[in-house]
Structure 1
């Protein structure tokens, strides 16, 4: 998963918020808060070389005494944790992930704390709140030690009212400390500047965050393609050169252009949404507040294992900083990429664009909580006059044409597991849409002033379980449906037995109780509805929402397979559908008499219907018996048949069309290699039945021209028996699916052959009509 480093101390943040509440709500902005937090958590300069794994542990880290207070234990934990972050040190109140720790580092940290300090910490606790001080407090609480914890600030009902104690219902699944922090963060929206409505004009100068991400990179290109805007891209990097290089690398990795035209219409700004004023200088911030006319918020930390405390700086405070930019100076709309995860509560009845969001206390994943808090905070910002458009994608699938996908996305990980293990967990709906459609509709809303200020579900047409199973079968991936617990156990066992580095994060997700609850809510959720989005798409003449069907899925599978994350069907697999073809005839020297018998006993098969429709290709195995080549039968080592390979392009002035092209690689028992090229042609003649059975062949040694040529024919009495009645289908399919597969093949193949046979007749008729038009009346009478 994508690791987003955040730099914030929840305790310092709470103190800053409490001070604002005590002042009666006077003037503590998001910038003030981020500045105080950044100052409170800035790591101190090291006095010596940084500690690294394997180095001697500092005195405070060796044999820490749990009888000590939380501050001493936090210092010991921070000393160990510092070895797993790039800076080599970590302040006790700094977040481990914010300092650069990864999910893999978190696993290593848990092991090190157990081995070196004797401190047993659950991995989920690290993901929930990875500050050493928080880990120390939870450890001491688990041992029954009495510790003093600063009270959590709660937004008051009136500026000077005392904060009521926070109470949670018995069915709450969120941590009380997270709920308290969420309430404090929501209060920050009330301190945003008031602003006037923006001019209702298409944007010309846009600030875009998240342009190096999967969705953001596609939105950047769509903004350039479908508007005249100049786009300022905020990119996390040390300087402009590094930011530009990072942006270009990201675009190229998703198959998007990084051309001089793209670079001419963008300005790359090195910055960070987690810092005050986005990490920009005061002068540049002031310039942007007066020159921009649109702010687009796409950047977010996406990690389903980390908790609210660890993600809030990027996903909540970052969104509020962008709201501050939009509300300052020239009035600007804010277009915020939210998520359908704001509804991710088990048992929620509906997910419409204007439906109530989930109960915050019943969201278990930190990511869901931060997306909920950001959207609710921005709703409160609307009361200050800020025009906020909330755009909620669901699962974002691969590009329908390029197959580009997000390799570190949970959805991609699950899809790769579906294809790799040929199993799918039972679910109600899959609210997913391809990235190209999500990006195009989001950009349309940004560029259309009449669309501003509303909420949109960019979820496409929901897929049912039957849809996904059928689509995967179309791609040759016949899957078995399991209940969630069975699927999880099976997938986890396979991943542990055969570790796949790129799917290590999926293994951790399947082991995390928090992430499992998130998956449960997703699998059991209702279909998302998007009436407003549909109306916008229709009004603007955009491509309508389509189900993320087999073609889009297989494109993604092809990209996943290329990266080793999934496995598409191939010739060595049991075929999807197959039948035999027997031919007999004769061959002889090229331009000579075909007086030597030649026969072929072949098995024709397809790995998937997708292969057939997309590649128009059939796989071939079998034997060729030709005494003129070898005394023993030759084995078809590799064979392909292309159906209507020229797509109806006429040969020889249109009097002959190519129906099928055979290309076989042959080998004999001694290792000799041969090739066979065959063609079935359609001609404007009455022997149509023979044309579909006759194959003109040429045969030669590998690397040499043809030495034999002739014709072989499928006997009339075996054609129907073998190629219609004798069709076999994957035995794993049900009887109904087998019948459907046969009928689909026969209908498709019959239609293609019919088109091929009709071509020469139509061409001959057209030539005849043209000839009659050129005749004079006298010639016509003759």
Structure 2
């Protein structure tokens, strides 16, 4: 779903209210047939199947000239129209195709080949294109030779830190991290933000914290937004500004990442992998600065049965599937290697981050909450035999801030788990306890209920994630049926001892605070009246 053409601008044209002035955006250069210059050469349909598929696309997308190698999404398609298109394909050809394969190969040519395979009765066994082979991941996780900390000199940063650099400060977890860093220290905090200038960067920080009830006017004196891009060399800054920042910062907390489970390794790599490399380079520039990296428990293989993982280095990426999971595995390994070269590092691996245990404030933009909302909208429970670690965002933020600002635990890895391991059925039961009626269906009937709703044009939060669900079972990217993972937390427990930081167990009462928050913000509709 990447655009076929990019136009680079120094800044986006703005309206007086600060929004983008779309009318002043430069037009994309087009060829004589109305296609973007540099796009693939037009290839007309050549078989009966291809002609019929092109006609279906024309009807849905309102585009006249469609080639068999054109991407459905480049032509204006989205998750909803993709589901509706596949319904038309089923009606026209009398066979069901994999929605997941469409998202990976979204062309008429690929669909026609899928139809041939479906008619042959041979099951398609191609691996998910969101994932990389283990051998390729191992190569991706080799730390470049230029990332080496400078030799220790007097004046190297030590706690208490005066200046902290935070990435990912305009996200959900980032808002709570900022609140904890501000409350637990006197440090000034520089926040790297994708923005046109410092003014816009500061506005984004302020609005993000305010969304979750975390902003205080006094924060402005200690927060400094920096218009930057962690995925670009030098963070996209000029050399003088970069060097000055590297000289002034005492501590780096790297929370910046894209967490879209539906995207491929290559789509997520620029931020999740290359961004991590740039953070490590920054930490080694001018003077050595400790790096605290927010990884994920998703870096571990999800296998059937009971498996226990220690707070230690990662080894084989075998059975680590999905673009997000694999980019986090690579980033985790890169940070660990930098630590082996002498850079002071800590790695934090949280589970599925959920709402605040104190306020109920929760993000609507997570895969987990999309599944919860999708089930509520379909009034049907997803049947899935899997365990998960749901961890309150404010607990995660407090734990990271406490350990990072303490400055005494470099070289260690910490697992941030929930107070108790949950089975997915526990989550379903808590939602029901909150008054939402969820039918018990077989997986196949649940899938048909959700897909059918989307095909009819009904709103369902899972529409954008349906490529992660096949007709007979969820994708391996989502998890392995029967998986029951557990995680060592002895190092985290020792680091938090005496801090007063505790993770509360998620129960029906806490789930009610999350769902109430979603109702207040409009993410969920009220519980239907009996």
How far does the alpha carbon of each residue in 1:508-528 deviate from its partner, in whole angstroms, 9 at most, with x for none?
443599972222338724233
The alpha-carbon distance between structure 1 residues 491 and 563, as it changes in their structure 2 partners (threshold 3 A), is farther
The alpha-carbon distance between structure 1 residues 506 and 177, as it changes in their structure 2 partners (threshold 3 A), is closer
Give the Å deviation of 1:223.
Answer: 0.5
Greater strand proportion? 1
Query: CA–CA distance in 1 between the matches of 2:128 and 2:315?
Result: 12
Calculate the aligned-residue CA RMSD, in Å.
4.4
Q: TM-score, normalised by structure 1?
A: 0.52
What runs of 5+ residues in structure 1 fail to find an aligned partner?
A: 9-47, 68-82, 84-91, 115-120, 143-169, 574-782
The alpha-carbon distance between structure 1 residues 301 and 50, as it changes in their structure 2 partners (threshold 3 A), is same
Structure with higher RCO (Cα < 8 A, 6+ apart): 2
Give the Å deviation of 1:422.
Answer: 5.0
5 Å matches for 1:2-21?
none
Partner of 1:554: 512
The alpha-carbon distance between structure 1 residues 322 and 471, as it changes in their structure 2 partners (threshold 3 A), is same
Query: CA–CA distance in 1 between the matches of 2:343 and 2:227?
Result: 26
Does residue 441 of structure 1 match 2:396?
no
The alpha-carbon distance between structure 1 residues 499 and 334, as it changes in their structure 2 partners (threshold 3 A), is same
Select the residue among 182, 195, 200 that pairs with 2:137: 182
Partner of 2:451: 492
Partner of 1:566: 524
Does residue 64 of structure 1 match 2:43?
yes
5 Å matches for 1:455-474?
455-461=413-419, 462-465=421-424, 467-474=426-433
SS in 1 for 2:253: strand
Question: Residue 386 of structure 2 contacts residue 424 of structure 2 at CA under 8 Å; is this kept in 1?
Answer: yes
Partner of 1:451: 409
Does residue 393 of structure 1 match 2:350?
yes
Give the Å deviation of 1:268.
Answer: 0.6
SS in 1 for 2:475: helix
The alpha-carbon distance between structure 1 residues 182 and 430, as it changes in their structure 2 partners (threshold 3 A), is closer
Query: CA–CA distance in 2 between the matches of 1:250 and 1:128?
Result: 33
The alpha-carbon distance between structure 1 residues 200 and 515, as it changes in their structure 2 partners (threshold 3 A), is farther
Give the Å deviation of 1:468.
Answer: 3.2
Question: Residue 346 of structure 1 contacts residue 521 of structure 1 at CA under 8 Å; is this kept in 2?
Answer: yes
Partner of 2:287: 330
The alpha-carbon distance between structure 1 residues 428 and 531, as it changes in their structure 2 partners (threshold 3 A), is farther
Partner of 1:587: none
How far does the alpha carbon of each residue in 1:508-552 deviate from its partner, in whole angstroms, 9 at most, with x for none?
44359997222233872423342222232233232x222222222
Question: Residue 205 of structure 1 contacts residue 231 of structure 1 at CA under 8 Å; is this kept in 2?
Answer: yes
Question: Residue 124 of structure 1 contacts residue 305 of structure 1 at CA under 8 Å; is this kept in 2?
Answer: no
Give the Å deviation of 1:315.
Answer: 0.3
Partner of 2:329: 372
The alpha-carbon distance between structure 1 residues 316 and 348, as it changes in their structure 2 partners (threshold 3 A), is farther
5 Å matches for 1:34-183?
49-50=27-28, 56-57=34-35, 63-64=42-43, 104=79, 107=82, 124=100, 179=134, 181-183=136-138
Select the residue among 341, 357, 361 that pairs with 2:298: 341
The alpha-carbon distance between structure 1 residues 527 and 433, as it changes in their structure 2 partners (threshold 3 A), is same
Question: Residue 128 of structure 1 contacts residue 305 of structure 1 at CA under 8 Å; is this kept in 2?
Answer: no
Give the Å deviation of 1:123.
Answer: 6.9
Q: TM-score, normalised by structure 2?
A: 0.74
Does residue 194 of structure 1 match 2:149?
yes
How far does the alpha carbon of each residue in 1:409-456 deviate from its partner, in whole angstroms, 9 at most, with x for none?
111111223444152424342211111111111111111222332111
Give the Å deviation of 1:252.
Answer: 1.9
5 Å matches for 1:456-605?
456-461=414-419, 462-465=421-424, 467-477=426-436, 479-482=438-441, 484-497=443-456, 499-500=458-459, 502-510=461-469, 516-521=475-480, 524-542=483-501, 544-569=502-527, 572-573=529-530
The alpha-carbon distance between structure 1 residues 375 and 502, as it changes in their structure 2 partners (threshold 3 A), is same
Give the Å deviation of 1:210.
Answer: 0.7
Select the residue among 196, 199, 203 that pairs with 1:238: 196
Partner of 1:221: 179
Give the Å deviation of 1:136.
Answer: 12
Query: CA–CA distance in 2 between the matches of 1:213 and 1:324?
Result: 23
Partner of 2:53: none
Query: CA–CA distance in 2 between the matches of 1:275 and 1:413?
Result: 31
Question: Residue 233 of structure 2 contacts residue 278 of structure 2 at CA under 8 Å; is this kept in 1?
Answer: yes
SS in 1 for 2:353: strand
The alpha-carbon distance between structure 1 residues 392 and 554, as it changes in their structure 2 partners (threshold 3 A), is same
5 Å matches for 1:351-430?
351-354=308-311, 357=314, 359-420=316-377, 421-430=379-388
SS in 1 for 2:487: coil
Question: Residue 391 of structure 1 contacts residue 457 of structure 1 at CA under 8 Å; is this kept in 2?
Answer: yes
Question: Residue 6 of structure 1 contacts residue 274 of structure 1 at CA under 8 Å; is this kept in 2?
Answer: no
Question: Residue 383 of structure 2 contacts residue 441 of structure 2 at CA under 8 Å; is this kept in 1?
Answer: yes
Give the Å deviation of 1:255.
Answer: 2.2
Give the Å deviation of 1:566.
Answer: 3.4
Query: CA–CA distance in 2 between the matches of 1:481 and 1:232?
Result: 49
Partner of 1:275: 232
Question: Residue 257 of structure 2 contacts residue 271 of structure 2 at CA under 8 Å; is this kept in 1?
Answer: yes
**Number of residue pairs aligned between Structure 1 and Structure 2:** 466
How far does the alpha carbon of each residue in 1:153-196 deviate from its partner, in whole angstroms, 9 at most, with x for none?
xxxxxxxxxxxxxxxxx998788965565344322344312345
Give the Å deviation of 1:351.
Answer: 4.2
Partner of 2:258: 301
Question: Residue 218 of structure 1 contacts residue 439 of structure 1 at CA under 8 Å; is this kept in 2?
Answer: yes
What runs of 5+ residues in structure 2 fail to find an aligned partner?
A: 7-25, 47-60, 62-68, 90-96, 115-124
How far does the alpha carbon of each residue in 1:483-519 deviate from its partner, in whole angstroms, 9 at most, with x for none?
5555434433344446216543244443599972222
The alpha-carbon distance between structure 1 residues 366 and 127, as it changes in their structure 2 partners (threshold 3 A), is farther
Does residue 205 of structure 1 match 2:159?
no
The alpha-carbon distance between structure 1 residues 58 and 507, as it changes in their structure 2 partners (threshold 3 A), is closer
Select the residue among 261, 274, 277 that pairs with 2:218: 261
SS in 2 for 1:295: strand
SS in 1 for 2:204: helix
How far does the alpha carbon of each residue in 1:72-104 deviate from its partner, in whole angstroms, 9 at most, with x for none?
xxxxxxxxxxx9xxxxxxxx9xx999x9x9965
Give the Å deviation of 1:285.
Answer: 1.2
Question: Residue 6 of structure 1 contacts residue 311 of structure 1 at CA under 8 Å; is this kept in 2?
Answer: no
Give the Å deviation of 1:338.
Answer: 0.5
How far does the alpha carbon of each residue in 1:555-604 deviate from its partner, in whole angstroms, 9 at most, with x for none?
1111223355434546x31xxxxxxxxxxxxxxxxxxxxxxxxxxxxxxx
How far does the alpha carbon of each residue in 1:264-310 deviate from its partner, in whole angstroms, 9 at most, with x for none?
11111000111111111111111122211111111111111111111
Question: Residue 5 of structure 2 contacts residue 36 of structure 2 at CA under 8 Å; is this kept in 1?
Answer: no
Give the Å deviation of 1:367.
Answer: 0.5
Question: Residue 143 of structure 2 contacts residue 338 of structure 2 at CA under 8 Å; is this kept in 1?
Answer: no
Decide which structure has the larger Cα Rg and report it: 1
